[in-house]
Amino acid sequence: MAIKTENQRITDLLNGTLKSIKTVIPLSPTVSSPSLVTEPLMIRFGVLIGFTGHIKGKLLMIGEDKDFSYIGQALYGMPLEGEMLKSFSGELGNMIAGGISTHVAEKGHFIDITAPSIIEGHSTITGFDKAIELDIRFEDGRAITLSLLLDR
């Protein structure tokens, strides 16, 4: 098996991310082109899942709690709040990260994912080599941002 370059790994990771988003979220989201971010990330509500193996880093989903609740309502038919919203948000992150993991495995990269962590309040994330962001927009104007925080 040929050794893949960093660019090939990142391309496979992005393609897996897009495929996973469109499979997991039943709202026909519009996904922006990826953008590279080097500044600290500001969060009010989000989910953080680490990945290790051939590709090292973290998946970070950022939004408002009402945006995650909107996705939950689309999946389960009812609005979610409080502890149910936190639990759902972690599971949404797990489903997307699991889809990414499956896709990159098909491309020859093996990664493991960690349990999700929920982030609430005004938080700043730093300490990553680079981040690739995708804005995920829904028909009614709601949106979340998905960031792939890549480590060396």
Predicted structure pTM score: 0.91
Q: State residue 23 phi and psi, 5-degree precision.
A: -80, -40
Chain centroid to Cα 14, Å, comes to 10
Catalogue all structural domains in the chain, each as residue range(s) with its CATH number: 6-150 (3.40.1550.10)
pLDDT one digit per residue (tens) for the chain, 152 residues: 455 687 888 899 999 999 999 999 888 889 999 999 988 999 999 999 999 998 899 999 999 999 999 999 999 999 899 999 999 999 999 999 999 999 999 998 889 999 999 999 999 999 888 899 999 998 888 999 999 999 87
